Amino acid sequence: MSTQRVSDDVNMIDAPYHGRTGVLGTYVVAGEKVAVIDPGPASQVPGVIEALDRLGVEEVSTIALTHIHLDHAAGCWMMLERYPGAEVHCHPKGVDHMVDPSKIEAAAREAFGDKIEEYGEIRGIPKEKLKASVDGERLCLGGVELQVSYTPGHSIHSQSYYEPRGRLLFAGDAAGHTPDNLGVVIPASPPPYNPVQATESLSRMEALAPSVLCISHFGFHGGAVKWLSDFRRQVLLWERLASEGVEEGRTLTETYLTVLNGDPFARKLVSKNPEAKGHVYSSLAGFMSYAKWVKARK
């Protein structure tokens, strides 16, 4: 477990996930009060709490979720056991799933099989602990604040948080992944994914003119606006290739090859880390299922 300073008010915790670090960045924003963004699943939360202890954090007032996927949010119940005064903020479409995670759990089990055991115990949290976020809302922490911006696409319940003092944008998975420190960005878009919403969300994020992009998988990156515009170009390219693939009746594997051919980021990622092929496949599947849905409606 390690912590890294992002700005005067913000640290990133890298708590190990099944022995691996660099999987999920949990951000700690400290004014007079403290917010924790995406504490992760129950298997990671003990490391997050240990890091908070090391940072001298005794109380957490706000747990801010970028979305309610299990790898970001499933350990909230354990955070609340340690910090009973905290409120959990999420998109209104995520509230019911946070109270009763059984549907999200079933969907994850279908996608990942028994691997979801790695998340640790999945439990709902009491409804009275949840605050449904309002778009544009400001979470005031005393001296520092987080501004909520709805950024759907990766999921319908995705939202980002902007911290204006350090011009930091906490985008969750809405601005893609930057795996393995390779300097590449790649979509995180398993089905159900909506690339039209995703690009609208990118416009909202770009309009904030952030300086540093803090993403979940993984790390914080300067030159945020360039990251976002590179990523937008990539989303539009994948959307076009997926839609052409569906029109031409190409399989996922055939379309994957057109993506490797057309996208230098995907090519670099897979050549440096062949295991990333599965990530590119599942992300492309989200684009293709959206393209099929569009085609079926024509």
Residue 278 Cβ vs Zn ion, minimum distance, rounded to whole Å: 16
Binding mask 87-126 for Zn ion (x = CB under 5 A): ----------------------------------------
**Buried-state track 125-146, b at ≥16 Cβ within 10 A, e below 16:** beeebbbebeeebebebeebbb
Which residue number, 148 or 175, has a Cβ lying nearer to Zn ion?
175
Distance CA 224, CA 229 (A): 9
Residue 90 Cβ vs Zn ion, minimum distance, rounded to whole Å: 12
Distance CA 295, CA 171 (A): 30
Which residue number, 205 or 246, has a Cβ lying nearer to Zn ion?
205
Determine contact, residues 22/28, Cβ cutoff 8 Å: no
Residue 73 Cβ vs Zn ion, minimum distance, rounded to whole Å: 9
Please identify which residue in the block is written with the tokens 């056991």: 81
Of 65-73, 109-117, 202-210, 233-241: span binding Zn ion (CB under 5 A): 65-73
Determine contact, residues 144/9, Cβ cutoff 8 Å: yes
Exposed / middle / buried, residue 181 (Cβ in 10 Å: 0-12, 13-18, 19+): exposed
Which residue number, 11 or 158, has a Cβ lying nearer to Zn ion?
158
Which residue number, 83 or 170, has a Cβ lying nearer to Zn ion?
170
Residue 58 Cβ vs Zn ion, minimum distance, rounded to whole Å: 30
141: Cβ contacts below 8 Å, ≥ 6 apart = 29, 30, 31, 32, 33, 34, 35, 61, 62
Among 33, 69, 157, 217, binds Zn ion (CB under 5 A): 69
Of 20-28, 61-69, 110-118, 163-171: span binding Zn ion (CB under 5 A): 61-69
Number of amino acids touching Zn ion (CB under 5 A): 2
Binding mask 13-52 for Zn ion (x = CB under 5 A): ----------------------------------------
Distance CA 12, CA 61 (A): 17
Residue 184 Cβ vs Zn ion, minimum distance, rounded to whole Å: 19
Binding mask 139-178 for Zn ion (x = CB under 5 A): ----------------------------------x-----
The letter for the amino acid at 20 is: R
Phi, psi of 14 (to 5 degrees): -115, 90
Pairing of strands 212-215, 2-5: unpaired
Which residue number, 163 or 173, has a Cβ lying nearer to Zn ion?
173
Which residue number, 175 or 288, has a Cβ lying nearer to Zn ion?
175
Residue 154 Cβ vs Zn ion, minimum distance, rounded to whole Å: 6
Residue 177: Cβ within 10 Å count = 20
Closest residue (Cβ) to Zn ion?
Answer: 69
Distance CA 59, CA 277 (A): 41
Which residue number, 69 or 89, has a Cβ lying nearer to Zn ion?
69
Residue 63 Cβ vs Zn ion, minimum distance, rounded to whole Å: 16
Which residue number, 102 or 261, has a Cβ lying nearer to Zn ion?
102
Determine contact, residues 22/47, Cβ cutoff 8 Å: no
Exposed / middle / buried, residue 81 (Cβ in 10 Å: 0-12, 13-18, 19+): exposed
Residue 67 Cβ vs Zn ion, minimum distance, rounded to whole Å: 5
Which residues lie near Zn ion (CB under 5 A)? 69, 173
